Structures are given as C-alpha cells and as structure tokens.
Chain A
C-alpha cells in the first residue's frame, strides 16, 4: 500500500537535501537541508514499518529526538559564528584550511 510512492518521495526529498547541502552556502539553509534529509529517512522508516513491523516507527522517534537536540546545538553554533564573523556564509568560514 503506497510503499513504492512513499519510498520514491523519500528518495526525492533526500536528494533535494543532499543537493542543498552541496550547493548552498548559507549555513541556515544548509541546516534546513540536513533536516530535510533526516525527515526523508523518517518517511522511509514509516513506510517500511508496514512491511517489517513497528521497529521502524520507533526508530523515527529516536531520530526526531536526536534531530531536535542537534538543531539546538547546531543553531547555537551558527549563532556563535555569526556573532564572531557577522556572517553565516560558509564560504567565509575556513579557519581550518590546511
């Protein structure tokens, strides 16, 4: 039941996320793309739970929890970087250059 379309949607969302991470420079947007990828994975978990049992649905809760924590930490870091450099453009953040 809708497994194929659900996985397809998940793949599309994930690809958009990857493309966003690769191509965008704004840290906030990049962050949102990561969220998009996480949720694409969540969607495939839920879809596959129909076939393989409830484990996938439980995993989704874990992912959401971790994503929330990650969002908090990540936004805090971005905030700190912004205070330091007056910019959230990743192009300018390269202090670890070799």
Chain B
C-alpha cells in the first residue's frame, strides 16, 4: 500500500522559515546598507507573499484530509529532561489553519502598505526586519504544538511589539510606550508560566493535543486545578489582548508607526489571547467559573473601552480603544463557549480593523505631507484638524466607510455576522446562567457606542468643512497605489468576510463552524450551547441592526451639529466628557496606586536602604573594614625592632620544640 501523501502540509515549516530568512536579510541590510530600499521592499514583502502562498496550499490540502487530531511536523527534540520531552514541532489543525491564513494574508497586505507609508523613513530596512521577525514569532505562536513553543512565540511577538512601538525611539514618549507595553505584558506572561507549571504537575504534558485528550479524564471538571490553570492562562490573555485591568498599554502603543498598529496591535498579536482560550477550549469548558469570568471581563472591557472611544480626538487613539473594545467582544464569545463566534469575530476584526488602521495611516500620511509642505507644526493625527477629507481622498473615504459599517454591525458587512453571533450566544447562555443576560446587555450597549464613535470618527475626518488650513489644502491628496491597493483588498474582505460563516437564515450553512468543529469537539462534552432559532434569532438580529443604525445616525448628526474647533484653539472639555477625554484617569490612578509606590519603594527601601546601606555599607565596605582592622592588628607585631623579632622567634622555637619533644 503506498504511503499516504499529505501534499503541501509537510512543507508548513516554510511559512516560518521564509519570514525568518527575510528578517536575516533585512536585518543585515539594516546594519550594512540601510539605503538599499528596493531590495528591502522586495525581500520584505516577497517572503510574506511566498509564505502566504504556502499557507494557502497547506490549507487547501487540509480540506481534503480527514485528520484525527492535528497534523504534527516535528523538527527536533527541543527539551528532553527525564520524562519531560518537548519537541520543536508545528501542529496544524483547523484552528491554526485559520490563524495561519489571517497572519500571513493580512500580514502581507500590511507589508505592502508599509512600502508606501515608510518610504521616507531612514529606518526603512530596520522596520521591515522587525516586521518579518514579528511574523516569524506570530506563526510560532499559532503553530507551536506545545505550550512552551507557543510561549516562545508569545514572548517573541511581545519583543517585536516593544521594538516597533519604540521604533522612533529618539522621542522619549515613544520609548516609554514601548517599555509600558513590555512591562504590563510581563504580568500576564507570569500567569502563562504558572499555568504551564500546574499543567505539568497535574497531567504531565504540555502538548496541546495531549492536553485535550487527558484533561477530561485526569482532571475534575469544575475542580480547583482546572479553574486555577484557566485563570492563570486568562491572566496571560488579559495582558496580551489588552483587557481590563491590563489594557492600558495598548492605547499608548499607538506611538508606533501606523502599519504596526494595524498588524500587531489590531489584527494579529492582540488576538493571541483569544486564540489561546480557543486553543485550550477543553480546559475552559471544564471550568465554568473561569469561562464566566472571561466573558465578564470581556463584556466589561467592551463597554468600558467604547465609552472612552467616544471622546478621543487622536484618530489612532479612537481606533485603539475600539480594538480593546472589540477584543472584549471576542472574549465574550469564547467565554460563553461560542468559540467559533469568537474566532469568527477575530478573523473579521482582523479585516476591518486592519483596514481602519491602514485607512487612518493613509489619512495621517496625507496630513503629515500637507503640514510638511507648509512647515506647519500641527498634530497630523488630531481629527479636529481634519474634516472634509472625502474630497481629497475618495478611495480612502469609501473604504473607511465600508470598515465603519462592518465594525458597527450593519448587514451584510462582515462585522454584523460575527458580532451578532457572539451576542446571540451570550443571550442563549443567559437561559442557563442569568448573569450572561447582563453580559449580553453590556455588549449591546457597547455596540451602540461602537457605532456612535465610529460614525463620529468618519464624520470628523471625512465630512463637513476642511479644517486643515487653506495653505495645506492643496497639498492634501490620495496616497500612492501601493498604499491604496491593500486597502481595496481589505475592503473587499471586510465587505464579504461574513461569507465565511453565513447563518442559516440567509441560506448559509455555518462554513467556519463546520470547519472548526473537530477542534472544539472535545469542549462540547462539557458545555453545550443551544443557539437561538426562529423568531428569537430574528428578533435579536433586528435589535442589533436597529441599535447599530441608531448609533451611526446619532454619531453623524451629533458630530455635524456642533462646529469643531481646530486642535490648537480647542477649549478644554467639561463635565463627564472631560473624564472620558482623560480615559477615566486610569493611567493616573495606576501611576498613583502602583507605579509611584513601586518607584518609591525601590528608591527609598531597595536602593537607599537595601542596596546602599546593607549591601554596599555592611557587606562590601564592612568586609573591607574588617580586613583592614585585622591587618592593623597584625601590623602592630611588625615593630621594626630586631629585638622583638628575636623574642618572637625564640618563643616560636621553644613552642615548636616543646610540642615536638613532648
């Protein structure tokens, strides 16, 4: 019998190897020939395109296979200690296949956009080297067959995030934002580590597939062990996916170049937490307490971040809080047990949020060039300085509108299907645990606010009169095709992304759900979710659509009625708007409650107290003083008087003779 051939699947390692190669080439060029921009663009985007093609071939092959468990490609034994054996291996299943396509596909589009956006930057080669390296680590995270290998990717994307947030490190604020992201993420990573330790001691494996196999038999469902593991895992997700209370780093991460915000801080890296929950779905299904917490934190974040988004003026800040909010929706999904809905929203969000960020990048690019041409020093990201841009950038305007409708949840755009599915699932779970009705309600209010702030963003940026300045207006123009082309592709995806998982009432058959079924099969034993059907379903959908439309109309009207004052003349916000503008003073609160005490403790106790007094004063200088004292005592014997030496010599001789002769 001929051996079964898996087609392209064994070549899956290429998807990681190619970007790694790109990183090495671009990294070398960044050090040796930073001006070789043509080569860098070719290599940087070329490896991503090749990687994406391999990924497509792999997934096409996967469609034809009937696999039980993931297809694993082992490269070498990575860690072998006693009974612990961890292979450096990639595991391809239907979930990692989805992520593989999103990361390489959206990643490729954003790389192409960056060719135009970063054209003038002196750090061009360095930028593409980091971007390639990010893809390497993101794919390690997605494909790693064991928790430690996934964790390598997890930390690696954190590193790339840090490097890219602080890409323009000459300004201290940017470097500080990078550090903030890195440090806040450490808190979450510590949770993942602890979860790994508990998993190892309780079920003696760190392989995802084996975990899914052993957990149902070796762990008690709803017991303390599985609850602890999932809570610690979720702590990691809270850090990486910017949920309350660790979300504070993501808005600051907007200090990085806009393509970075699109790729890392919207489409891929920040969704790693959602991916991790989906990946360990068995554990979360076995721990209803943790799952409820996941959904609760998600709902709270979705609502909370949306309110902050209402009163931000920096276009990227609005999108940043929107991302935090949308990630909250994904966690409502996976926390409710609707893993498919969570992953579905992850995918559609990757499309429309990448589009929104790239579109805002296109706007910032135009604004920046206009201000650069007239040597004005205005904020190119402040929406109060924009307005009426649809006349100058029709393509960007049209595509941003598509993305806005998608995120607001207007049918038939992609976001409608995914967000609706999440809310319907939360509603369905409410029949079992009434608290989920609350989460559903919070999600619904969040959806209203989402529609409002997105309409506000669109209106302030593209509609009304232009506020950039008369001299600047003639310099405002559409971005080059290399930047608009990826936008068009993403626009098409945002428009049609819903096809992936069309519900039955419009004639679909839940394609994504069928596709992901093998991955989430084990979880179903522990938590069954009966989705609403018939009139309930239509009522929920109708309600969601009405809310989205109300939000959009209110957003447009609310923004158009009041005249907007340009940023430099703008009056201070008053009342509750001021609280929202200052993000509920959460950063100040953290500064007061956590940062200042730690800095004070470090300075007064650890530095001045422990280090300077105890370590330096007592141990270092103390031992020196002790030795000097002993030396002083010894030197008292050295009188320089021969007579004394002779006496000592004699005493010594007598002593030795005495002891020998005795």
Stretch with Cβ within 8 A of A (4 or more), from B42-50, B230-238, B509-517, B630-638? B630-638
In the assembled complex, A29 has its CB within 8 A of some CB on chain B? no
Residue-wise, chain B 605-639 has the 8 Å CB interface mask toward A (1 for contact) of: 00000000000000000000000000000111111
Q: Which of B562-599 contact A (CB under 8 A)?
A: none
Are the CB atoms of A95 and B640 closer together than 8 Å? Answer: yes
In the assembled complex, B218 has its CB within 8 A of some CB on chain A? no
Contacts of B1 in A (CB 8 A): none
Are the CB atoms of B643 and A98 closer together than 8 Å? Answer: no
Are the CB atoms of A98 and B637 closer together than 8 Å? Answer: yes
Distance in angstroms from A23 CB to nearest chain B CB is 8
Max count, chain A CB within 10 A of own CB: residue among B634, B638, B640, B650? B640
Max count, chain A CB within 10 A of own CB: residue among B634, B638, B643, B650? B643
Cross-chain contact of A25 among B634, B638, B643, B647 (Cβ < 8 A): B643
Report the tally of A-B residue pairs with Cβ distances under 8 A. Answer: 32
Are the CB atoms of B638 and A96 closer together than 8 Å? Answer: yes
Stretch with Cβ within 8 A of B (4 or more), from A2-10, A64-72, A86-94? A86-94
Q: How far is the CA of A95 from the CA of B647 in the complex (A)?
A: 19
Give the nearest-CB partner of B642 in chain A.
A90
A90 with B641: in contact, given A98-B634, A98-B635 (CB under 8 Å)?
Answer: yes
In the assembled complex, A18 has its CB within 8 A of some CB on chain B? yes
In the assembled complex, A97 has its CB within 8 A of some CB on chain B? yes
Are the CB atoms of B646 and A21 closer together than 8 Å? Answer: yes
Are the CB atoms of B640 and A97 closer together than 8 Å? Answer: yes
Q: Which of A6-63 contact B (CB under 8 A)?
A: 18, 21-22, 25, 30
Contacts of A91 in B (CB 8 A): 641
Are the CB atoms of B647 and A22 closer together than 8 Å? Answer: yes
Are the CB atoms of B650 and A98 closer together than 8 Å? Answer: no
Distance in angstroms from A56 CB to nearest chain B CB is 21
Are the CB atoms of A97 and B650 closer together than 8 Å? Answer: no
Are the CB atoms of B639 and A97 closer together than 8 Å? Answer: yes
Are the CB atoms of A22 and B640 closer together than 8 Å? Answer: no
Distance in angstroms from B643 CB to nearest chain A CB is 6
Q: How far is the CA of A90 from the CA of B647 in the complex (A)?
A: 14
Residue-wise, chain B 642-662 has the 8 Å CB interface mask toward A (1 for contact) of: 110011001000000000000
Are the CB atoms of B642 and A93 closer together than 8 Å? Answer: yes
Contacts of B650 in A (CB 8 A): 18, 22
Max count, chain A CB within 10 A of own CB: residue among B635, B642, B646? B642
Contacts of B643 in A (CB 8 A): 21-22, 25, 90
Q: How far is the CA of A22 from the CA of B639 in the complex (A)?
A: 15
Q: How far is the CA of A96 from the CA of B635 in the complex (A)?
A: 10
Q: How far is the CA of A28 from the CA of B634 in the complex (A)?
A: 30
Contacts of B637 in A (CB 8 A): 98
Distance in angstroms from B651 CB to nearest chain A CB is 11
Distance in angstroms from A52 CB to nearest chain B CB is 20
Are the CB atoms of B642 and A22 closer together than 8 Å? Answer: no
A93 with B646: in contact, given A98-B634, A98-B635 (CB under 8 Å)?
Answer: no
Contacts of B636 in A (CB 8 A): 98
Distance in angstroms from B612 CB to nearest chain A CB is 33
Give the nearest-CB partner of B638 in chain A.
A98
Q: How far is the CA of A91 from the CA of B642 in the complex (A)?
A: 8
Distance in angstroms from B653 CB to nearest chain A CB is 10
Contacts of B646 in A (CB 8 A): 21-22
Q: How far is the CA of A96 from the CA of B639 in the complex (A)?
A: 7
Q: How far is the CA of A93 from the CA of B642 in the complex (A)?
A: 8
Q: How far is the CA of A68 from the CA of B643 in the complex (A)?
A: 23
Distance in angstroms from B453 CB to nearest chain A CB is 82
Q: How far is the CA of A25 from the CA of B643 in the complex (A)?
A: 8
Q: How far is the CA of A22 from the CA of B646 in the complex (A)?
A: 7
Q: Which 3 pairs, one residue from A and one from B, show the smallest C-beta to C-beta distance?
A: A94-B640, A98-B638, A98-B635
30 contacts between A and B (CB under 8 A): A18-B650, A21-B643, A21-B646, A22-B643, A22-B646, A22-B647, A22-B650, A25-B643, A30-B642, A90-B641, A90-B643, A91-B641, A93-B640, A93-B642, A94-B639, A94-B640, A94-B641, A95-B640, A96-B638, A96-B640, A97-B638, A97-B639, A97-B640, A97-B641, A98-B634, A98-B635, A98-B636, A98-B637, A98-B638, A98-B640
B positions within 8 Å CB-CB of A: 634-643, 646-647, 650
- For the complex with contacts A25-B643, A96-B638, A98-B637, 7 further pairs of A-B residues with Cβ separation under 8 Å are A18-B650, A22-B650, A91-B641, A95-B640, A97-B638, A97-B639, A97-B640
